[in-house]
Chains A and B, each alone.
Chain A
Amino acid sequence: MSSHAHEIRLTVNGEEVRESVEARKTLVEFLREDLGLTGSHIGCEHGVCGACTVLLDGVIVRGCLTLAVQCDGSSVDTIEGVADSGAIADLQLAFAARNALQCGFCTPGMLLTAAHLLDAGGVPSREKIRAQLSGNYCRCTGYHAIVDAIDSVARARMGR
């Protein structure tokens, strides 16, 4: 398979990365298998469940529908990097306080998707929050608590 390998250079969570990857390798497989960043999860491998959500040049993408070779020259941020930066500390606290996660498998994708909505500012309606999450599957919570947690952060950020 070496004939299909490609050299890529990218920034992952602020660190420069140079790796050789097969053309068929998806971004989420690359993050998990080559870089050991297992916070991005694999749930369906066909772009429906949202568990593999990561930031590619600041935009949320499906890690299972993006090939690693496509990310050459790009900047990728995963839940590990975003969590360590403190950028979503209030959102993480709100999820914990509201028990907006049970098994936690969807949580990294949920957090990044919610953060993207919150970055737009304002206090979105519950319907708008639900619409934003409509590509992220959670089997445990029934979503109500997740909506509550995101709503509370939006309100707190407005009051800040």
Chain B
Amino acid sequence: MNDRKQPALSPLDRPNSYIGRAVPRPNLDRLLAGRGQFVSDVVLPRVAHVVFVRSPHAHARIRAIDTQAAKRAAGVVAVVTGAELAKVCTPWVGVLTHLKGLKSAPQHPIAVDKACWQGEAVAAVVAKTRALAEDAAELVAVDYEPLPPVVDAETALDSATPVIHAELGDNLAFERKLDAGEVDRAFREADAVVEATFVFGRHTGVTLEPRAIVADWNAGEARLTIHQGTQAPHMMQNIFAKHLGLEEHQVRVLTRDVGGSFGIKVHVYADEMATAALSMLLKRPVKFVADRIESFVTDIHARDHRVKARIAVMNDGRIAAFEIDDLTGIGPYSVYPRTSGIEANQIVNLVGGPYACPNYRALARVVFQNKNVMCQYRAVGHPIATAVTEGLVELAARKVGMDVIELRRRNLVRDDAYPCASASGLKFEKLSHHASLDRLIALMDYEALRREQERLRQGGVYRGIGFASFIEVTNPSAAFYGVGGARISSQDGAVVRLDATGAVICHTGVTEQGQGAEAVVAQVVATAFGVPIERVRVITGDTDNTPYGGGTWASRAAGIGGEAAWQAGKALRANVLAVAGSILQAEPKALDIRNGVVVDADTGRERIELSEVARIAYFRPDTLPPDFQAELMAVRHYVPRAYPFAFTNGVQASYLEVDPASGFIKLIRHYVVEDCGTVINPQLVDEQIRGGVVQGIGAALFEHCVYDDEGQLLNGNMADYLVPMAAEMPDIDVAHVETPTADSELGAKGAGEAGTAGAPGAVLNAVNDALAPLGAEPITEMPVTPGVVLRALGKV
């Protein structure tokens, strides 16, 4: 086993290293004392509040809007329609050139002629308080001509179905086909073929703090300051500038505490663009905070996929081929700027990924419909690809009469086979499927659980064990978005500065959403430079002051932002040692910085305090040699170069109990082994995994945006849309295998998607394992509600 083994001469082996230590996050105290600074807390002088009148129809032409009564209402500042706002803000189209053929229609901040989903804004009401704006919004009279809604993705391409955007010709947004190896032959020659149709329910992120923005156009200095809970401040700076007719330097995006994001807050939302445009129109700050009902009909949805899939398998357990046909409905627009083609594209990329199987065929079709938009949410595509792959694998194991672990051992890509590529063309640097599976089996004591399961079955208690091996896309290069023309930075920067007391300030382009990016950057800088972590202050989320960067998404903050900070910390150390060498008349290479003191590198003998170096450099540079200039700030940038993505891997297991009488599922325990390369902070990694697992469990068992045939969301509130709560969730055991990437010195890959990627597949397999002795039909739809279980048992 190579667990936690580092190369002998790793550059990470610094004295007093914080790498691999569970250091508490520096920003927790204010959050624990009720002193966080969330956007919903921001109040500015003269701020006005906007609420949106939203279409009650899924599809309707807007004949006329009468705003007169609303304009006369108490406290109202303005009532603005889409046509009026279109003069301030240009529309956008969510396409990327590397998703060939992807098309979409121009989207405006407020609908102009036609509302295309229930919840799309058709007018804005700005007033002194939110309550007064809501009062006035009820007085806006909109004359709608309802149009037939396109609801069912299955019939969206039928000739009888109306085309939502006539200028596009049809409702097909994107299509991708892949055919690798000899699929037909493999299925023809297979000993067994298993087919299933997997259905994944639409769900959404339900960030506890809804989307929030305060836009402040200062006409005097011609600058727009945006307080926004976003994952990508620089991306938003570019987009606000582009569509509001400004230069980027005229826009400042400030992001302090963000009340949860998970991919929800990395997209361009029409109502947020409208808020910025309204601030420019009205020349005063305007604040928008979505309420929960609005969140459900406007926050991006995800995962509405129907995947017809089959697997070919031989009697010796060898997997011979995979084939999938994926259909997804993404709402009426491809979301800007990341597009809504990515999830289907990821599914095509990822299915079968953990296995050595060269024969793979995939078709993915992405269609428009009159429901809320869908786009990238945590673990984009992974939970679907993993549940399909792992669902097929366990059904195949049952069909050929082989233990599910044994069948995986015979097919998972060997740990010594790297570097290699998947049938879909993904390049893997080094993964550890077998080591991870071995670790999981030990962690959960698999044999003992199987014995317990068997014993309980005799007494009529039906427990199930299900597994899911997975791969995870992290540390994306420009291959994700940049090559398709999106101005989304894949590189990130860090600026590290020695202050005048010997402490270190680090500005980083990655952002904090609660995952612990600030802590990881502080750990890395403290280690690279050589100070106690308490002497490092990390600043994020301010486009005026942080290096240009991508922000936080696709598990990139530690692997990319961390490496930039590592390199900047090393560069500052060299700079400071040059100053110290000058002061001490010593060779800088013979010195080091340890625990905040300049020492002799060989012996550790203390030579001079950092505070003294800083004092001399800043206040008495006259005492330094005349040809020497101290440089106490260092900047470094980083982007992965050798691989387009740093793939990680892992495996999860779910242990649960199904009550055949009621269909209720009780989660008993969940197990995860994950390999994210170098673990910088084991506690933060574990908590990312646990949080991700519970989001995956939500998808597997509870969460579902239920629409009726008219395109109306039926359960858009937190009482009817079920999210995982504490009482139903299990304890989650987490362990690691560490296979660092050689693409960076730190060797860190991402870990944010892993939990969500694998949990739904593991839970689904566990449910089917529990029900197997009862003769139930395999369940292949999510969420697995009690009703689904009872139907599988033939009881309803």
Interface on A for B, CB 8 Å cutoff?
1, 22, 24-25, 32, 37-46, 48-49, 51, 78-80, 83-84, 92, 95-99, 101-108, 111, 126-127, 129-131, 133-147
Nearest residue, chain A, Cβ from B32 = A92
B34–A102 touching, CB < 8 Å:
no
The reply on B695 being an interface residue by CB < 8 A is yes
Beta-carbon contact of A143 and B726 below 8 Å: yes
Among B2-10, B21-29, B636-644, the stretch in contact with A: B21-29
In the complex, which of the residues A78, A101, A126 contacts B34, with contact meaning CB atoms closer than 8 Å?
A: A78
Which listed residue (A32, A83, A144) contacts B33, Cβ 8 A? A83
Residues of A within 8 A of B132 (CB): 1
Known: A103-B260, A104-B32. 4 other contacts (CB 8 A): A101-B31, A136-B725, A142-B732, A143-B726
Restricting to B38-69, which residues have a CB under 8 Å from any CB of A? 38, 40-41
Pick the most buried of B25, B29, B32, B205: most chain A CB atoms within 10 A of its CB. Answer: B32
17 contacts between A and B (CB under 8 A): A39-B33, A39-B34, A41-B208, A78-B34, A84-B33, A96-B24, A101-B514, A102-B687, A105-B209, A107-B31, A111-B32, A130-B726, A135-B725, A138-B208, A139-B262, A141-B690, A143-B726
B729 within 8 A of A: yes
Instruction: With a 10 A CB-CB cut-off, give which of B31, B292, B718, B724 has the most chain A CB atoms.
Output: B31
Q: Which of chain A's residues have a CB closer than 8 A to the CB of B732? A: 142, 144
Interface residues of B in 732-776 (CB under 8 A from A): 732, 755
The answer for the CA separation of A106 and B35 in the assembled complex, in Å, is: 13
When C-beta atoms are compared, the residue in chain A nearest to B28 turns out to be A96
Interface centre among B29, B40, B719, B726 (most CB of A within 10 A): B726
Which of chain A's residues have a CB closer than 8 A to the CB of B727? Answer: 127, 130-131, 133-134
8 closest A-B pairs by CB: A39-B34, A104-B31, A103-B514, A102-B514, A105-B259, A79-B34, A142-B694, A133-B726
Chain B CB count within 10 A is highest, among A104, A126, A127, A147, for A104
Whether a CB of chain A sits under 8 angstroms from the CB of B36 is yes
Contacts of A108 in B (CB 8 A): 34
Known A45-B292, A138-B208: A143·B34 in contact at CB below 8 Å: no
A154 to B24, CA, bound (A): 21
B554 at the A interface (CB under 8 A): no
A139 to B, closest residue via Cβ = B260
Contact B36 A104 (CB under 8 A): yes
Whether A107 lies near B32 (C-beta < 8 A) is yes
A43 to B289 Cα, complex, angstroms? 11
Task: Give chain A residues whose Cβ lies under 8 Å from the Cβ of B653.
Answer: none
The residues of B with any CB-CB pair to A shorter than 8 Å are 24-25, 28-29, 31-36, 38, 40-41, 74, 131-132, 205-210, 257-262, 289, 291-292, 513-516, 683-684, 687, 690-695, 717-719, 723-727, 729, 731-732, 755
Cβ–Cβ contact A79 & B33, under 8 A = yes
Please determine whether A142 and B717 come into contact, CB atoms closer than 8 angstroms: no
Nearest-CB distance from B137 to chain A (Å)? 15
Contact check, A142 vs B723: say whether CB atoms are below 8 A apart: no
Given the known interface contacts A39-B35, A103-B514, the answer about A145 and B717 at a Cβ–Cβ threshold of 8 Å is: no
Which residues in B have their C-beta under 8 angstroms from that of A104?
28, 31-32, 36, 257, 259, 514
Chain A: which residue is nearest B292 at the CB level? A44
Q: Give the shortest distance, in Å, between B277 (CB) and chain A (any CB).
A: 25
Complexed CA–CA distance, A8 and B727 (Å): 38
- Tell me the bound Cα distance from A130 to B732 in angstroms: 14
Residue ID in chain B nearest A42 by CB atoms: B40
Q: A143's closest neighbor in chain B, by CB?
A: B726
In angstroms, Cα B31 to Cα A99, docked, is 12
* Residue numbers in B under 8 Å from A98 (CB-CB): 683
Q: A33 CA to B715 CA in the complex, in Å?
A: 30
Q: Are A143 and B687 closer than 8 Å at their CB atoms?
A: no
Give the distance in Å from the alpha carbon of A103 to the alpha carbon of B205 in the complex.
14
> With A99-B687, A144-B690 known to touch, is A137 a contact of B32 (CB < 8 Å)?
no
Q: Which residue of B lies closest to A24 (CB)?
A: B131
A141 touches B691 (CB 8 A): yes
CB distance from A89 to the nearest CB of B (A): 10
- Nearest residue (CB) in B for A136 is B726
In the assembled complex, how far is the CB of residue A70 from the closest CB belonging to chain B, in whole angstroms?
18
Nearest CB in chain A: distance from B377 CB, A: 12
Q: Are B694 and A143 in contact (CB under 8 A)?
A: yes
Of B34, B259, B514, the contact of A40 (CB 8 Å cutoff): B34
Instruction: Give the shortest distance, in Å, between A62 (CB) and chain B (any CB).
Output: 12
Which of B74, B291, B729 touches A143 (beta carbons < 8 Å)? B729
CA distance A24 to B134 in the complex (A): 13
| Residues from chain A with Cβ under 8 Å of B41 in the complex | 32, 38
Q: Which residue of B lies closest to A96 (CB)?
A: B28
Residues of chain B within 8 A (CB-CB) of A126 are 731
A99 and B208 contacting across the interface, CB-CB below 8 Å:
no
In the bound complex, what is the Cα–Cα distance between A80 and B695 (angstroms)? Answer: 30
| Contact across chains for A43 and B208 when beta carbons are under 8 A apart | yes
Q: How far is the CA of A80 from the CA of B446 in the complex (A)?
A: 47
Indicate if the CB atoms of A137 and B731 lie closer than 8 Å: no
Q: In the bound complex, how far is the Cα of B208 from the Cα of A37, in angstroms?
A: 18
Taking a contact as CB atoms under 8 Å apart, the answer to whether B32 and A99 are in contact is: no
Partner of B260, one of A45, A130, A140: A140
